[in-house]
Copies of this chain bind each other. A is one copy, B any other.
Amino acid sequence: MRRHVGKQSIRFDLPPVIRAAASVVGPKEGDGPLKDRFDRIMPDMLSGTNSWEKAESALARQGIELAVDKAGLSMPEIDYILAGDLLNQSIGSTYAVRSLERPFFGLFSACSTIGEAMTLGCVLVDGEYADNIAAAASSHFCAAEKTFRNPLELGGQRPLTSSWTVTGDGCVIISSSGKGPRITAATTGKIIDMGIKDVNNMGAAMAPAAADVLIHHFEDFNAQPSGYDAIVTGDLGSTGLKLLKTLMAEKGYDIGENAFDCGVEIFDAKTQDTHAGGSGPACSAVTFASLFYPKLCEGRIKRLLFVPTGALMNSTTAMQGETMPSIAHALRIEA
């Protein structure tokens, strides 16, 4: 396994190119700090459908189609689609992909799905099994609240540690050729469970998983946080990001200067009532596609560590008194 590095990392011999990235979001995201950066903003939460689930699939299909288009490719040139979401049995993705007629790998890694999709997509391209793959992740605020928390009609209060599920789809096209930043390495996460049970504090559940994969990444490559212009976590939110910095400091790593979190970037917590920040598989996917990918393309960021994070519970486990296992995947992306 000559491409394996250290304990849980891989180095890509023929670093795959992120040839394009696309973001399609809902109205609240389109009203936030990144509003001028998204490719498409849906006017309402139903996107021309009659259910939130169908709206998510519509967003997800548009995200993939748009990314393929931006890459200058046609759908038949995409060898594999790798995608996932938060809905039961991943219907956000499967119903999005069914009309696209491409070989499909369905993934579930909650809010870290785009990290898993990009890692496996890079393996397929770097290993010469594919020329072009689409990696995508979606979520929808209303469909997620219904699935995981309370009916929206209940109007339940949300504690300040809670996050707001991003409505949208982010998709990247990873290719063996073309122009764009390259993914040079990946560290795949283990499931970490620190015993957090509060579904309104996912940042606290996920921060230890992010810390674990970051520490393994630095150890495997004998690297330091200062070697990266930006370390971008998925959706820890303000609460989780603070915890992550503390956990990393305890292990001797100072990530304070260049640590960003997609959940913090996507909303203006003060004016948009989103409390700890954004979350959901779309959170890291659309924030990467709209904010960080362009900076890598322009050379304003040279070396980025992208670390989508996910909490792996469901509503049944919460009711059965279970904790929230979490995971994070790291990808090194260089301009």
* A interface with B by C-beta (< 8 Å): 1-4, 8, 10, 51, 53-54, 79-80, 84, 86-91, 94-95, 97-98, 101-110, 116, 119-120, 123-131, 147, 176, 188-193, 312-317, 320, 322, 325, 327
- B residues in contact with A89, CB < 8 Å: 86, 88, 108, 110, 312-314
Contact B108 A106 (CB under 8 A): yes
Complex: how many Å from CA A10 to CA B79? 11
Contact B189 A104 (CB under 8 A): yes
| Of the residues B3, B8, B97, B193, contact of A127 by C-beta under 8 Å | B3
| Of the residues B84, B102, B107, B110, contact of A190 by C-beta under 8 Å | B102
Contact B108 A107 (CB under 8 A): yes
Contact B103 A8 (CB under 8 A): yes
- B residues in contact with A91, CB < 8 Å: 312-314, 316-317
- B residues in contact with A53, CB < 8 Å: 316-317, 320
Complex: how many Å from CA A126 to CA B109? 24
- B residues in contact with A190, CB < 8 Å: 101-104
Contact A191 B88 (CB under 8 A): no
* Given A8-B103, A108-B106, A116-B105, A3-B86 contact (CB < 8 Å): no
Contact A98 B325 (CB under 8 A): yes
Contact A107 B110 (CB under 8 A): no
- B residues in contact with A106, CB < 8 Å: 107-109, 116, 312, 327
Q: Which 10 A-B pairs have the closest CB atoms?
A: A127-B127, A103-B188, A89-B314, A98-B191, A94-B312, A88-B88, A98-B325, A106-B108, A90-B108, A88-B314
Contact B95 A322 (CB under 8 A): yes
- B residues in contact with A320, CB < 8 Å: 51, 53-54
A8 to chain B, nearest CB (A): 5
- B residues in contact with A101, CB < 8 Å: 190
- B residues in contact with A316, CB < 8 Å: 53, 87-88, 91
Taking A2-B128, A8-B79, A53-B316 as known contacts, 4 extra A-B pairs with beta carbons closer than 8 A to each other, sorted by chain A number, are A1-B176, A88-B89, A120-B120, A123-B127
A66 to chain B, nearest CB (A): 20
* Given A1-B176, A104-B190, A188-B104, A314-B87 contact (CB < 8 Å): yes
Complex: how many Å from CA A80 to CA B8? 9
| Of the residues B105, B108, B127, B147, contact of A126 by C-beta under 8 Å | B127
* Given A105-B107, A106-B108, A316-B88, A4-B130 contact (CB < 8 Å): yes
